[in-house]
Chains A and B, each alone.
Chain A
Amino acid sequence: MAVRMTRISVSLAEARKAPPPGLDLGTTFDAIVVGSGYGGAIAAAKLAETGRKVLLLERGREILPGDYPRSLAQAAAETQITTAEAGRLTTANGMLDLRIHKDMSVVLGCGLGGTSLINANVALEPDTRLFEEMEEGPDGKPRPVWPAALRGPLPPGAATMLDAEYAEAIRTLDSVPMPEAIVLPKLESLEVSAKAMGHKVHRMPINVRFEDGPNHFGNYQAACTLCGDCCSGCNYGAKNTTLMNYLPYAKANGAILLTEAQVHWVAGSDGNWSVRVASFGQAADEGIDLSATLVVLAAGTLGSTEILSRSVHLGKVQVATGWLGKGFSGNGDVLGFGFNANWTQAGDGTAAPIFSIGAGTNTPEPVTPPSAYPYMAGPYSPGPCIAGMIKVTWGEGHPVRKGVVIEDGVGPGPLSMAYPAIFFGDDAVNGSQLRFPDAARRLQALAGLGNTLLSGVGVESLAYTTPMAQMQSYLLMSHDDAAGQIVYDAATDAVKVEWPGVGAGAPFARDNALLQAASDAIWADYLANPMWSEAFGWKVITTHPIGGCRMADDPASGVVNSDCQVFTGSGTAVHDGLMVCDGAVIPGSLGVNPLLTISAVTIRAMDRLIARKGWRKVTGLKPAASSTAMQGPPMQAADPLTAILPMAKAGQAWLMDRVERIALGPAQAEAVKEEIVALLQGYVDTFKGRDWLALEAALDAAELTARMQTDIGPALGELAADIAQVIAALETGGPDSEKLPRLEKVLTGIVGDLSSGLSFTETMKGFVSTPLPGRGAAISDPYVVAEARGRAEGRALDGVFMVTTADMNRLVKDPDHKAQLSGVLTLSLPGQAQPEILHFAGGTFQLLREDGAAVDRFLMVYDADLPGGGKFHGYKTLERREGSNWWTDLTVLATTLTLPGQAPMKGQIRLGVEDFVQQVLTVKGEVTADRTLFSLVMLVLRKVALGEFKALVADPDFLNAVVRRLLNSSYAATSGAEGLAALLGLREMEGAQFFANQVFRTYGGIAAYLNNFPALNPTKDPMPDPPGTVAKTYPAVMTDGARVQLTRFFGGTKGPVILANGFGFRGMAFAADTNAPDPSLVALLVGKGFDVWIFDHRASPANMDALGQVNIDYTMDDIAAVDWPWAIDFVRKQRSSDGLAAENVQLLAHCLGGLTAMMALQAGHASGVRQMIVSQFTTQPVAGWFNQMKADLGLSHYIHDGIGKTLAGVIGNEMGNPALTKLLEGTPVFDLRTTVPPQGKPTDAEALDLLINTALWSVPFPPGESCYNPTCHRVFGVFGPVYAHAQLTEATHDALNDIAGPVATLPFDQLARIMQAGRALDAAGRDVYFGVPQRMDFPIHFISGALNQLVLPETTLRSQRWLQEALPKSAAKFTREVFAGYGHLDCLIGRNAARDVFPSILAQLERLADG
């Protein structure tokens, strides 16, 4: 059943134009009530019952059930935003009123019904002991918080002095607990939490109807559909808002309700009051004064305090101001979420849903009480916003102020499109995926959510499926110290809450810890309010603002007395007829939802007023009658894009009708022509002046010469066919997110590129100073130091930046595309009276482009030339690093300001949260329309006149211009084309998605890592032949069957030099061009005239057979005894056959290449080497701890041989993971490459890949190095720190999948022994390589990276010393160099290796280049 409502109010504007019967705005009312929440509605009804002439003024609109927002767009339209700094940012009179403040933000309701429209219905009495609470007075002595009249002494049997009033409120508001028969998963999940915390769940009374029928005041209400959207306005008439009970009752008994009536001030004194009221959004001086003998301010905690403060500020009224605005409390509100919960704790990959998102645009399953109960909730029926609570440390036995309640919650459905992205991002960044033993399930669920979000298809349903459906929302209430202040700011003419440091203090850390405990119990990632974090400055938000006009026994402690009468400021005297009745009077946090206490206090105040005045209830009071029952389901909103469909169909029908009639013959064609001319005349007549004249002439000419049958008819037919395609795209099913790409594809096919533009304004503030040379490098960031100096010296820099691009798509997708930047900088310098103001235009802005010079780093770059020759440069860095955070990354601009003739100033300027909100509101997506309507109409008319209309409509450029004109947001907005506006809105989301994606990529933790972004990057061959040469490859099969190869790049006769890489890495890595424009080592040597030979010994992944198999089951000895002799021999022979010097060769061998080359030479297997450069690993290695540990654990053995089939099977089975069994059975080869992002259900091989990637997530990286590249984790897992990340370009890091490959696992056994012993041993463990050092009597140069943590730099030092001691006469031949800041392989492939390392290598090789 649904309800049909009639309006009970008129707007002030309507009333001023045409007063409704019984209203004379000039009269003196018995009472004016300001506000229509619990206080206002109760006051108005109570006064109306006594026959008083009551006028109620409400600033919001009267919005009836059925008209509350369901979609994101509707919710946005119903949202007001006011920031403390900038004042109001929105103009609409929406029902949701957000006040964004520096420390504590506040959510308010606005509409007839006040906050009762958007609250969560909970009708709870506080802990009765609260009324006896004491606080510290200004003299340091304890004093009671509540006035004497509410403290007691209590009558016998009473729990509080408000017992009767609480009972009355429970009765009139129809507060009942949700019936036991209704079973909600979110309540069951809350019970699991309660049990774990040693408590129970209580179902408390809530103001919701669970049966169809009349309420206490006789108004009809429908039963709750369990849609969950209590907080965005109940569209079903099941919520007991004051709009459903007290207000229509007051109206039925003579009260007049005016909406959109904003009260600015109250003026006057005892019994003689006037109220200045204006229409919402109008200035005060456009309003009127209304008179009354009684004014009841019930405009809410902020509203009433604002009206009183402004009235005092303007001198309109004299009241006690000592406490005005003070004693503000957020009621200890804490919002939090348990995300991706697995409270069923099922290990089988499933998890029971919790459902805590409201239905929004979806239809809740209808429930027909009471026969349908017990009821199991479905995705669109989560249940009332709050249905139960856990009382923690509450009641007797606990200090009253330690009392905490934890309630379940439901996120409003209209925001359902926004939640998945928000929670996905928050969970990826802040969640701990490995906290519970079901990591595989939660990661898969999270990855699934991420994939859908990134693809954008099917986002509508995401809020209701895994893992969003497994979310518990929590609202916690506790006690704060009510030390906030509501401050009236005359500049913005608004109030703001000031409460420095509130979020960093009690009770928020404890309360979040409690929610974390509740969340842990259901195996959920606890996500606190994201603003409650260090990066945001511990900002908090309350939905329960309290205080500002607190009640007290005297003005020394409050603003009103216990009867809600306002103190005059003279002793304890109160004004006659000026009252405050709402949350503002509550003197401290209640620790529970406050609506019932606000109601009780108002009931008491009104009853006592009526008693004081001797008024009596009149007889014959009428019931409320604004609502009746209505059959049929309630109206649902349609997808916005669907709204385009009827437009398109009508257009197509119109066109086809004309085409057919034209085809019938000249007479009909003539009639059609007349119709069209009439139509066009209408357009032409919308122009004025010369434009009109020109168009009129063109129309005449076109009419004269139009060729209806040969030109116009076919042209219209063509247009109709185009529109048919649009219709087809829209008619195919699916949600808007699926229709949009289809529609875009069709439109692009017909008219070409339709990319839209984007603009926004960003305001940042900070400080700059002239940095001192040589400072700020050793331990500090120079920008941070410069900012602090600037702050100390008073050098402030504020910037307003306007970013505009005609092509958002390119800005997002093309890293080189720059948007336009214009704006103004304000530089305030000490001793300068006027700040310097610098306007600039023509600057550029780059959106998060990859910083090629670093791994996982993105830059946002601002550049502008300033007037007079100055320059502005700024950049933001999105990068994980110690202490960094995505929010600070995206909001702190490292700034360099250079003014002519002055030293550059550096510093940082920052975007504050409030400015960010403002910025978001300035974001505009816009399709630019180059052609004016005039030019388009003119073009059409000319072409018609020439008989070329058919050709014109076949021209995509023309159609493009027309569609752009249509899509132009200014046109779409003014033409009322909701579908077009929606299309633009969806496109704007692409930009937001891009940001979210980048943040996820950078900060998304294991989820982002498993997504394997490097594998998704577009690839090109990272190892092309160096310029000017062509590779010549010589593969060979050794006598023992192993495959090896040599690749020759002939740059000249110098050398020959043989380059060999380490284990698992291709020799061609030395030719990678991923550091362009810097040359690779190979390119450098070739360029210098060397005959370069890349040697891929058997441990290189280059030696794959046709099936992709690499060599397995070999030893280091094999490489030393077989591969190296062959390679040296082959090169010499080839050189000889080329007629080149072939006596001996130069070697550059890295890591395992170096070890085995030294083994080959030390053992005498090979000779003919005149010079060798050994990189990092020698025959005397000193391993870093990670490799020591792996060697000591004997890991290589288990990787090769496994742990035995039986044990592997048991473990795999136990963990429900067949891939694990496979892994534990052992493998002769391990692939360092992985390209599998988790999409869809993985194959067995992909599952194994994912398992390995997951296991290697926590492989130890050196401090500050951890990256999100799964291949890199494999490399570090197998070998340890192969490079210092800081030395790699993003391109090199991304190319790991090409550079590295499969490695055999058996050789690790021997490697482990060698590392344990600290010297080369043969595979049997014998010390056979050091007997004849004389074999090494030729120049050997060792190189090490100073940061090599794989094998310490000491490795090369040991070998150098061994040789120097063994061959003292040749000591000078053995040289060594250590490179600062370098690790292992990065010495040869690092981004600056060409600058830092190669010159030294080249010098060494050049020294003996020609034998």
Chain B
Amino acid sequence: MGTVGLTVVLSDFHAGAAESLLTVLDASYRPDPAQVSPTTQAFAAAFVPTIKALASRYGKPDLVLLGDVLDLSLGRPEDAARIFAGFVKAIGVGGLFGTIAFVPGNHDHALWTAERYGATAGAAKGPGDAAFWAHSSPAFKPPTAMGTTTLLNAILAAGGVSAKVATYYPNMGLLPQTAEAGAARRLAVLHHGHFIESAYSAMSSLLAAMRDKAVVPMTAERIEKENGSWIDFVWSTLGDDGRVGAEVTLAEELMVTGGASYALQGQVAGMLARQVQAGLGLPVSGLVETWTNRVCRGVVDAVLGSYADLERFDYESYLSSASVDGLQSYLTQVVAAQLAEEVPDHGPGDHLTFIFGHTHKAFADALVVEGFTAPVSVYNSGGWVLDTADLSTVEGAGVVFLDDALNSAMVQVYGLTGGEAVHPAQVISADPQPDERNPLFQAVQKAVTANAAAWGTFSTTVAAELRKKQDFYMALGDRVEARAARKPGVA
């Protein structure tokens, strides 16, 4: 996008959701949008001087908000807006960053839809004209050529930022402003990450099944066109009905606690059993009833229960093999098609850095991807939420940095370690050159070390805040169990 020396990538704040580390909960576990969370405060104390230290070398950096900034599914929109505005203010985003770009995710996808519709109605002028606001946007155009997101502009303004966010969807691309002679050409692509999971392209799969074959290669335009409404429906608008905190979706309830999911399974099975008995006109007898109940419960356990377990234990690994496959196919299809269109002189020998969030598990690695000669450097910017009652996961958050030559590095600001401990901030890299020859890695490392005490406080704060989120889940689980009337000894 811009021509500034440094780009900073953050994602997945899920502002407004009860489980977000940006959201403060009251005694009855309802979000209190008036408060700035301890995590936000501790982060600001460590992050701001770190960025300032880097700015002294690189100039004022650009900021990319890589989706799920607001949670419009699990939080009320007004709460989300206030909480994120509080965060923006606490960080001092306006003074800290130059250009701000936004790549919507699944939980704030409705913002993209809104702008798209607004543009179609002629509300958007200039760069964001109607043709521009199609299902997807270009990735490699400068921010000045991009449309903006009205609600986010307003939130930022409330947080003291006058800049308008340049909005890219589903991918944002960066080309190097400077390049080392003789080195491979570098590119970076940023995407929220939902499209690497099959659930978010389920409508495309359904269409493919109906057509008897998939459209290959899938493009950015097509994947959004086919799935956008579905994403809005399931992940991005439910918060609007206001029943947040106490009541969440079935899928979310399944994940709250193991006990809650079992209680819910019982409820679902009971409904199923009653329907089976009525629908099939089975004779009314104790034996028939017992067996119908048992079989329905068994089936629901095997389907819903095993799904919930799979999801729950999925947080133990950085990326499931299905998601690795999804990532590969997103790169070989959607990203490759967009590169071919927008960066025609790109070739398979170029080096690609791909940054995504969405999974809430920050990591840096390289991946061998068909169509790219060199392994693709992959960063996940993690997330600022706890997704289940378990702290024994590898969830965590990261801040990804890119310089004008597209050297890359990440501060893993916190991370669970699979047990229940929280590891402190650490600098890692997926860059193709060794850390000691990576000027950006060196600079970030130096800036983090210089602010080690503040980062230490941040880790401690996050550890305590995560415990509170665990409390919230346990309480929520108890509530679900109570509602499902799970009584001792009653199957």
Contact = CB atoms under 8 A, between A and B. Distances in A.
Contacts of B294: 1192-1194
B389 A1349 contact: no
A1182 B257 contact: yes
A883 B366 CA distance: 19
A1319 interface: yes
Interface string B288-308: 001000110110011001101
Interface string A1304-1335: 00000000010011110100011100000000
A1111 B59 CA distance: 77
Interface string A1376-1397: 0111110000000000000000
A1317 B302 CA distance: 18
Contacts of B393: 1346
Residue from B310, B390, B435, B486 having most chain A Cβ neighbours under 10 A: B390
A1346 B417 CA distance: 10
B363 A779 contact: yes
B488 interface: yes
Interface in B377-415: 378, 389-393
A1136 B432 CA distance: 67
Given A776-B366, A1378-B419, A1347 B258 contact: no
Interface in B470-485: 470, 474, 481
Nearest to A775: B366
Interface in A771-787: 772-780, 784-785, 787
A1357 B391 CA distance: 10
Contacts of A789: 366, 374-375, 432
B259 interface: yes
A817 B373 CA distance: 41
Nearest to B417: A1380
Nearest to A1327: B488
Given A774-B429, A1182-B262, A1193-B295, A1378 B391 contact: yes
B375 A882 contact: no
B262 A784 contact: no
B196 to A, nearest CB: 11
A1318 B306 CA distance: 18
Contacts of B45: none
B419 A1321 contact: no
Interface in A1277-1307: none
A1185 B309 contact: yes
B302 A1346 contact: no
Contacts of A792: 184, 349, 373-375
Nearest to B314: A1263
A1324 to B, nearest CB: 9
User: Looking at chain A, what size class is its interface with the partner chain?
Assistant: 35 or more
Given A772-B435, A1260-B306, A1318-B262, A1361 B297 contact: no
A775 B365 contact: yes
Given A775-B364, A1321-B488, A1380 B434 contact: no
Contact of B375 (A788, A1186, A1188, A1352): A788
Contacts of B302: 1185, 1189
A13 to B, nearest CB: 53
B102 interface: no
A765 interface: no
A1361 B365 contact: no
Contacts of B470: 1357
Interface stretch (B68-76, B220-228, B279-287, B315-323): B315-323
Nearest to B388: A1354
A898 to B, nearest CB: 17
B101 interface: no
A882 B298 contact: no
A882 B322 CA distance: 11
Residue from B257, B373, B419, B431 having most chain A Cβ neighbours under 10 A: B419
Interface string B451-491: 00000000000000000001000100000010000111111
A1193 B491 CA distance: 10
A778 B365 contact: yes
A1349 B309 contact: yes
B259 A1358 contact: yes
B233 interface: no
Interface in B407-452: 417-420, 428-435
A1135 interface: no
Contacts of B389: 1354, 1357
Contacts of B312: 1352
Contacts of A662: none
A779 B319 CA distance: 6
A152 interface: no
A788 B262 contact: no
B318 A779 contact: yes
A776 B258 CA distance: 33
B265 interface: yes
B305 A1188 contact: yes
B316 A785 contact: no
Interface in B125-142: none
A1185 B259 CA distance: 11
Residue from B306, B308, B318, B319 having most chain A Cβ neighbours under 10 A: B306
Contacts of B269: 1192
Contacts of B481: 1318
B27 to A, nearest CB: 15
A785 B392 contact: no
Residue from B258, B391, B491 having most chain A Cβ neighbours under 10 A: B258
A1321 B490 CA distance: 11
Nearest to B265: A1188
B276 interface: no
Contact of B368 (A775, A780, A1317, A1352): A780
Interface in A1325-1364: 1325-1327, 1344, 1346-1347, 1349, 1352-1354, 1357-1358, 1361
Interface in A786-818: 787-789, 791-793
A1185 B308 contact: yes
A1166 interface: no
A784 B370 CA distance: 13
Contact of A1352 (B258, B306, B319, B364): B258
Contact of B262 (A1188, A1358, A1381): A1188
Nearest to B393: A1346
Contacts of A1325: 488-489
Nearest to A1186: B306
Interface in B348-364: 349, 363-364
A1191 interface: yes
B365 A777 contact: yes
B301 A1185 contact: yes
A1326 B363 CA distance: 49
Nearest to A1193: B298
Contact of B258 (A785, A1191, A1354): A1354
A1281 to B, nearest CB: 10
Contact of A1185 (B305, B392, B487): B305
B489 A1316 contact: yes
Nearest to B427: A774
A785 B418 contact: no
A1283 to B, nearest CB: 14
B368 A785 contact: yes
A785 B481 CA distance: 47
A1040 to B, nearest CB: 24
A1346 B319 contact: no
Contact of A1346 (B265, B318, B390, B428): B390
A1183 interface: yes
A1313 B490 CA distance: 8
Given A773-B434, A785-B367, 16 more contacts: A772-B432, A774-B429, A776-B366, A779-B367, A780-B368, A792-B373, A1182-B258, A1192-B297, A1193-B298, A1194-B491, A1316-B491, A1317-B487, A1317-B489, A1352-B309, A1354-B258, A1381-B418
14 contacts: A777-B365, A779-B378, A780-B375, A789-B432, A1182-B259, A1185-B305, A1185-B306, A1189-B305, A1192-B294, A1318-B481, A1318-B486, A1346-B316, A1378-B419, A1381-B316
